[in-house]
Structure 1
Amino acid sequence: MSNPSSTEAPALTPRFCFNEKLLQDFLRLSRSTIDDSITQNLNALFTPSQQGFDPSSTAVRQTDSSGRKVIDPEACQGFKENVLFSSWQTRSDVLNYCAGVATSPDPEDPDLILRETESARDRERVVNERLDPYSARFFPKEARTESLANLIRNQRVVEDIIRSRSWGLVNERCGGSSLSWEEALNDWRKKHQR
């Protein structure tokens, strides 16, 4: 089973958030150690040696997944509480912090003066679209807060997809839960005062 400490939250600073490669690498690593390998993590919880070997199990080829044994409920609950939910919460904390950074003013924006200069030049430009229909095109450079906000929006969509998939597999292997992943995570947060 994956170690939850391998996905500990990095030091949350605006510098971390604005380094989009580092932010994406953290999210990718966290997802790969827990969610992308969810089947392996769940298989590690199943210990067939407790039931003993049944020689008749090899007489017939097992092709359907309904023949899978349900994993011990205590092991499943421990995995969900200690590994899965804590990993999801860490990623949520990082995304929420960086979303706050993206919506805050950025006094240290290195491209602020360049964007202001380009904007002033654009206001002074005279455009005759009859002579050059493409001359009206102006693509101002995006502020790094806007770029970060777009990245956070995209990563939240990815999180939703990954968590739905992981929760579906957990329910399939651990016995179905009537809760959605959002409800289960919120219940876990209430228990852990997060």
Structure 2
Amino acid sequence: MAQASSTQAPALTPKFCFDERLLQDFLRLSRSTIDDSITQNLNALFTPARNGFDPSSTAMRQTHSKSQRSIDEEACREFKDNVLFTSWQTRSDVLNYCAGVATSPDPEDPDLVLRQTESARDRERVVDERLDPYSARFFPQEARTESLASLIRNQRSVEGIIRARTWSIVNERCGGSFSSWEEALDDWRRKQQ
């Protein structure tokens, strides 16, 4: 079974957030450890030898594994509380922190002077679009805070899709709660306070 320690939050600094590859690698690793391998993690909770071996179990082919492979309710609850929700909360904390960084002014932006120079030059440019219709085209360089904000929006969308899929599998295997993953995570957060 996956351990919650494998999804420990990195040191949250603006430098971490602006290193988009590092941020994406953290999110990808956390998702692969818990969400992408949710079936294997849940299978690890199943203890078939609890009641001992039943020779009659081999007399007939078992095609309905769901009904035969019920996972212990306590094991499921512990997995959700100690591994799944902890991992989700860690990723949420990282995304929320980096979203805050993306909306804050960035005094250390290495391309700030270049963008300001280009902006001043473009304001002075006189364009006669009748002579050259392509001369008005300008592609300003995106600030790294804008790039980070876009990345955070995309990662939050991915996070929602992955959590919905994971939660449906957890409900299927653990006997389901009829709440959504958002409600279940909010309930877990309230219990943690």
User: Alpha-carbon deviation of 1:54?
Assistant: 2.8
Matched, 1:15 2:47: no
Matched, 1:122 2:99: no
Equivalent residue, structure 2, for 1:160: 160
> Residue 66 of structure 2 contacts residue 173 of structure 2 at CA under 8 Å; is this kept in 1?
no
Matched, 1:148 2:148: yes
Question: Runs of 5+ in structure 2 lacking a partner?
Answer: none
Matched, 1:77 2:77: yes
User: Alpha-carbon deviation of 1:66?
Assistant: 3.8
- Equivalenced residues, count: 193
User: Alpha-carbon deviation of 1:190?
Assistant: 0.8
Once the two structures are superposed, what CA deviation does each residue of 1:94-132 show, in whole Å capped at 9, x if it has no partner? 000000000000111100000000111111112222222
Mapped to 2, the partners of 1:163 and 1:185 lie a distance apart of 10
Mapped to 1, the partners of 2:99 and 2:123 lie a distance apart of 31
TM-score of the aligned structures, taking structure 1 as reference length: 0.95
Equivalent residue, structure 2, for 1:185: 185
Decide which moves more: 89-98 or 64-73: 64-73
| Structural mapping, 1:4-83, within 5 Å | 4-83=4-83
TM-score of the aligned structures, taking structure 2 as reference length: 0.96
User: Alpha-carbon deviation of 1:64?
Assistant: 4.0
SS in 2 for 1:46: coil
SS in 2 for 1:45: coil
Q: 1:120 to 1:43 in 2, by over 3 A?
A: same
Paired residue type of 1:83: V
Q: 1:132 to 1:56 in 2, by over 3 A?
A: farther
Equivalent residue, structure 1, for 2:96: 96
Equivalent residue, structure 2, for 1:106: 106
Mapped to 1, the partners of 2:127 and 2:36 lie a distance apart of 52
Equivalent residue, structure 1, for 2:87: 87
Mapped to 2, the partners of 1:130 and 1:7 lie a distance apart of 58
